Amino acid sequence: MSVTQLQLDGLHCNACVNSVEKALKTLPSVKDIKIDLATQLAVVESEESAQTLIDTIEDIGFDAKEA
């Protein structure tokens, strides 16, 4: 299991955070997600590649890149 840190952009409220968490949880190997709204930093424990995580987040309308 690896940990990936992602810098998010476009999160304005807890509903945004919940949307990102819900989308990431659809991926089979995602075990844990921690998102800090203030810093817009996500820490994801998963076997998914960083690009897969980024694509999943971008598919729902938010920006993401590896931190």
Which domains does the chain possess?
2-66 (3.30.70.100)
Provide the pairing of β-strand 63-66 with 32-36.
unpaired
How high is the pLDDT of residue 1? 83
What kind and span of H or E run contains 36? strand 32-36
How high is the pLDDT of residue 20? 98
- What distance in Å separates the CA atoms of residue 14 and residue 55, rounded to the nearest whole number? 21
0.75 exceeded by pTM: yes
- What distance in Å separates the CA atoms of residue 42 and residue 33, rounded to the nearest whole number? 7
Nearest Cα residue to 5 out of 28, 26, 36: 36
**pLDDT tens track for 9-66:** 999 999 999 999 999 999 999 999 999 999 999 999 999 999 999 999 999 999 999 9
DSSP 8-state assignment for residue 47: S
